[in-house]
């Protein structure tokens, strides 16, 4: 399963007969845009759960359906930055006393 962000609908009026008239969405998977069959009725901006391979075909309606990515759920709340640690600002150590080059340390 993948977590993707829905970017926009994709309209394709000329399709092969087995493709039917399922809604399609352009989704963002990392930095790659992909086309997914929309089985749940999502809208642009939604974070969604997608399945691929044979699970995508079954979720779209049948094992013979020509899909390799299907949206199967809309995520209620997702913060994609929650896993990233906040940047830390390293504080350099305070400078210590500067040794006096005229003294040899003997006293």
Mean of all residue pLDDT scores within the chain: 84
Range name among 45-49, 77-81, 93-97 with the lowest pLDDT average: 93-97
Give 3-state DSSP helix, strand, coil % of the chain, rounded to 5: 10, 35, 55
Enclosing H/E stretch for 80: none
Reported pTM: 0.71
User: What is the per-residue pLDDT for 22?
Assistant: 82
Average pLDDT over residues 77-90: 75
Of 93, 103, 94, 41, the closest CA to residue 70 belongs to 41
| Model pLDDT for residues 48-65, shown as the tens digit of each residue | 999 988 888 888 777 777
| Model pLDDT for residues 5-36, shown as the tens digit of each residue | 999 999 988 877 777 778 999 999 989 999 99
Question: Residue 80 — left, alpha, or beta (φ > 0 → left; ψ -120 to 50 → alpha)?
Answer: alpha
Domain boundaries, the chain: 2-12+21-74
H helices of 1-107, in order, are: 53-60
Question: Residue 46 — left, alpha, or beta (φ > 0 → left; ψ -120 to 50 → alpha)?
Answer: beta
Residue 94 pLDDT greater than 70, yes or no: no
> Looking at the domain covering 2-12+21-74, what would its CATH class be?
mainly beta
């Amino acid at each position: 399963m993948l977590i993707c962000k829905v970017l926009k609908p994709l309209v394709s009026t000329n399709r092969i007969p087995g493709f039917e008239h399922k809604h399609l969405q352009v989704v963002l998977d990392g930095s790659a845009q992909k086309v997914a069959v929309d089985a749940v009725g999502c809208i642009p901006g939604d974070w969604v759960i997608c399945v691929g391979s044979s699970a995508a075909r079954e979720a779209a309606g049948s094992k013979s359906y020509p899909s390799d990515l299907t949206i199967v759920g809309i995520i209620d709340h997702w913060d994609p930055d929650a896993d990233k640690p906040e940047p830390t600002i390293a504080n350099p150590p305070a400078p210590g006393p500067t040794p006096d080059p005229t003294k040899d340390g003997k006293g």
